[in-house]
Amino acid sequence: MPTTEITTSRWRIALYLVGSLAFVAIALWLLQHPTQNAWKLKLGFVFFGLCAALFVGLLINPQRLVLDDEGFTILGGFVTSPKTIQWRDIDGFFVYRLPRGGKMIGFNYKAGASPRPRLARFNRAFGAEGALPKGWPQSPEALAARLNAYRAQALGGRGSQSAKLSRDW
């Protein structure tokens, strides 16, 4: 199977950057009009300024998801030590809802998978033992289906559904 690389959506990151910069501008404008709660405005200015810097960094070095015969690796962004997770060590991908809304792509490790992260058991209480970051160009449901199809082919499962899904990309 050919190696596949999926890159985070730069449009989404750019929208997050514009939103952060808008909040920075609002905070700057409000700071010119003294109020009792100026410290809250300063805190908001610093927070959204840091968010803007983060999004600039992600525009320059976007996150990438590399799929190959062995497993998947997340690179780029602020990942300092990329790690490949083997296809045989996970059960598959699924979409789960976050407590305050939103969706993420999660996965659970198989029993006896090694090395299993120390926080995996703790994370499972929130929906999944592991998760992919947000910001991919596809919806979480479409990307989870794509990853499951790739995983099935890499592990040798040649079901008609997985073959059809992989041809679509």
pLDDT digits (tens, 9 = 90+) for 77-98: 888 889 899 999 999 999 998 8
Which domain does 34 fall in, by range? 4-60
Q: How many domains does the chain have?
A: 2
Does residue 22 have a pLDDT over 70? yes
Mean pLDDT of the chain: 85
Does residue 159 have a pLDDT over 80? no
Q: What is the pLDDT of residue 134?
A: 87
Regarding whether 131 and 81 lie in a shared domain, the answer is: yes
Which strands make up the sheet holding 64-67, listed edge to edge?
Answer: 4-7, 64-67, 71-75, 84-86
Regarding whether 147 and 100 lie in a shared domain, the answer is: yes
Q: Which of 17-26, 61-70, 77-86, 151-160 has the lowest mean pLDDT?
A: 151-160
- Dihedral of the CA atoms 84, 143, 55, 39 (nearest 10)? -100
Regarding whether 103 and 50 lie in a shared domain, the answer is: no
Q: What is the pLDDT of residue 98?
A: 82
Beta bridge partners of residue 73, listed in sequence order: 66, 84
Q: What is the pLDDT of residue 161?
A: 40
For 126-145, b/e burial (b = at least 16 CB within 10 A) is ebbbbbbeebbeeebeebbb
Regarding whether 128 and 98 lie in a shared domain, the answer is: yes
Q: What is the pLDDT of residue 36?
A: 66
Does residue 121 have a pLDDT over 80? no
User: Which whole number is the average pLDDT over 95-120?
Assistant: 83
Regarding whether 75 and 54 lie in a shared domain, the answer is: no
Identify which of 15-24, 41-50, 130-139 has the greatest average pLDDT: 15-24
- What sign has the CA pseudo-torsion 81, 83, 129, 116? negative
Regarding whether 91 and 36 lie in a shared domain, the answer is: no
Regarding whether 78 and 141 lie in a shared domain, the answer is: yes
Q: What is the pLDDT of residue 122?
A: 74
**Are the C-beta atoms of 97 and 127 separated by less than 8 Å?**
yes
Among the three residues 26, 42, 60, which one is the final residue of a domain in this structure? 60
Is residue 97 one of the residues assigned to a domain? yes
Interval 5-16: pLDDT, tens: 999 999 999 999
**Are the C-beta atoms of 137 and 117 separated by less than 8 Å?**
no
User: Which whole number is the average pLDDT over 48-52?
Assistant: 95
Regarding whether 103 and 158 lie in a shared domain, the answer is: yes
Regarding whether 132 and 81 lie in a shared domain, the answer is: yes
pTM for the full predicted model: 0.77
Residues 6+ apart with CB under 8 A from 5: 64, 65, 66, 67
**Which DSSP category does 101 fall into?**
S
Regarding whether 95 and 38 lie in a shared domain, the answer is: no
CA distances from 123 to 38, 87, 117 (A): 37, 19, 10
Q: How many residues does the chain have?
A: 169
Regarding whether 107 and 77 lie in a shared domain, the answer is: yes
CA distances from 131 to 11, 44, 119 (A): 22, 29, 12
